[in-house]
Chains A and B, each alone.
Chain A
């Protein structure tokens, strides 16, 4: 929780315009009728229309990506699983490319982009499920392999579209694919929060079931778990939530794979602990990374996906080394 509070304050306080924490707190309290705001109208606008939506979108996206990564790792019993395992990234990428190249004509990122990215992500996951998950004899491996095949298909279609388009469109598609919180607005947050809230709740509630699944499909079934139903429900929830987030912020890598591993190293392997902590830590991690991304080379921004990897990898290595020293 302390990390989350620090992340929220960093997201609001740090930026080109210097505004102190106390002024922001005073302004927030004045909105609920306590004291008066000492912020100028411009400062208030920067906080509530620029930094706050960006910070909240970071919280929402980070929480969803981390919890989806943890869920996928649990449900597939695969430590390399991430939220994009079943084709969400490839589907969203194709949808976004279609929007930018065909609808926007390469001159801008059209307003249809999030919707087409979301539709693309859901179509690819549905296709993966139809190919690899419908049969009674399907295993987690068949589903993952179907995800690989569908991703390859969608990625090749996206590559073809990019090849046929102008260099301007390629640059815009590429920027979208790297992910960013720069286009955050309250309206985009309102649009994705209902999906994310339900999906995060479903995944967190599945913690005990994922602990049972850690003994393998057959043993989990013999213990009374309906493995097929559980897999369908949590994979759908994790994919839907991820698709919603991706439609708003693009493809932010690394959060969904590194955050669950960091938490696992800190608190152990029970999903009853990993999943709620993924929500908190994933949210804080992405906001902190975004703060770095938008300030290091200001007024330009670093791609968020690059920052998550540059910060996440060393943190992971340090915790892993500390754990090894502790156990040796």
Chain B
């Protein structure tokens, strides 16, 4: 579904993403992990078609991303940035409705079908009671559900999320990830997300891609990647995996192993 072939991204002399090739299959959940500055946000913005590549090709659903118009791309990929901008004075319903602009355009009002899709997603994500509220008045968890709703009303095959649970408490983190998992399982959605929480990344994703200094350091099942030597090496510290009631928990070990910045732990 999402296919990257030898993709490199540069900013001046710096290489932010270095020769990355990834193939994400339809209806799966792929999470990109890695330390700060590894190039996760750059990589997902390339996948969303928002950043040009220096080399390589990005294809989504067999379409060459660089050849698509913004409108065509928005019907194929929904993107949730790390810090979504929520305009003052816009209602939750209007904010979520922005996700249908690629369908009705900017010169026409939303059609009955657009309104139905918005109403359906508001219901599914339990946002109906907030729909007339000012979007900026919502709590962190409600706001993140609203942003996710905006992405889902785009009715795309792929949703790309950059740190979708940043700043949320553990309950709301699980709520958001469960909602996404339901969409993957029930609707066949392809999810590509970046996450800092390695335990949650391993729990929800079908596949983990470890990014280090712009390159893929490890790519595989959650079980393999969180136990890999490359994971500890990328973070420059010792990480222990503990199994609790059948779930793997990644625990950083304080003062043990290499200091931050070392290549090996």
Contacts and interface: CB of A to CB of B under 8 A. Distances in A.
A212 B87 CA distance: 10
A219 interface: yes
Given A224-B101, A226-B70, A268 B89 contact: yes
A215 B86 CA distance: 6
A222 B87 contact: no
Given A214-B90, A268-B89, A269-B90, A223 B84 contact: no
B64 to A, nearest CB: 17
A211 B81 CA distance: 18
A36 interface: no
A219 B89 contact: no
Nearest to B48: A222
Contacts, number: 71
Given A208-B106, A212-B98, A215-B85, A222 B71 contact: no
Interface in B87-119: 87-90, 94, 98-99, 101-102, 106-107
Given A206-B106, A208-B106, A269-B87, A223 B48 contact: no
A270 B85 contact: no
15 contacts: A136-B52, A208-B106, A208-B107, A209-B106, A211-B87, A214-B87, A218-B81, A221-B70, A222-B77, A222-B79, A224-B73, A224-B102, A225-B106, A227-B70, A269-B87
Interface residues of A, number: 23
A269 B154 CA distance: 23
B107 A222 contact: no
A269 B94 CA distance: 12
A215 B99 CA distance: 12
Contacts of B101: 208, 212, 223-225
A270 B94 CA distance: 10
B70 A225 contact: yes
A13 B86 CA distance: 47
Give the interface SS of chain B, mostly helix, strand, loop or mixed.
loop
B94 to A, nearest CB: 8
A221 B79 CA distance: 10
Contact of B107 (A205, A211, A270): A205
Interface in A209-241: 209, 211-212, 214-216, 218-219, 221-227, 230
Contacts of B129: none
A270 B101 CA distance: 15
Name, among A136, A215, A224, the residue most crowded by chain B CB atoms within 10 Å (CB to CB).
Answer: A224
A219 B150 CA distance: 11
Contacts of A218: 45, 50, 81
A223 B50 contact: no
Contact of B69 (A209, A212, A226): A226
